Amino acid sequence: NTALLSFKIQCYFVSPLNLSTVPPSTQLYTKSDVKLGVENTLICSVTNFHPPPVNISWTRNGEAVSEQDVSETQYYSNPDFSFRLFSYLNFRPERGDIYTCSVQLSVWCALQTKRFDSLD
């Protein structure tokens, strides 16, 4: 019983207090060099957020993409108690396409959106 109580107290003092005040860092990039008409993967990297969950949504030319084209990793923890998550969109870029990855952290009011324009 004493060991359990001691462990809980140590965890309490180790936990950082202000992680939720820092917005997540979001990056959008492709897995491979972009070639029109050639299958590729867009990667939306969301890092340094706390606490989960994070909602990630994708659009193509302003329309929501099919969930069957999207996959996500589990939440990975960082040494500073923040988290990271990756979302993947399989796509075939066509001239003029605009893709967006939007990120909403449950405790953070603003929505972050990153944009990817296909080659013209």
Cβ 86 vs Cβ 73: under 8 Å? yes
* DSSP 8-state symbol, 86: E
Question: How does residue 4 score in pLDDT terms, banded at 50, 70 and 90?
Answer: very low
Cβ 57 vs Cβ 70: under 8 Å? no
Q: State residue 21's pLDDT score.
A: 53
Say what the pTM is: 0.75
**Domain layout of the chain by residue ranges:** 19-117
Specify whether domain 19-117 bears CATH 2.60.40.10: yes
Q: Which residue has the higher pLDDT, 16 or 119?
A: 119
Give percent of the chain above pLDDT 90: 52
Cβ neighbors of 105 (< 8 A, separation 6 or more) are 23, 24, 49, 54
Strand partners, 43: 29, 88
The chain-wide mean pLDDT, for the chain, equals: 80
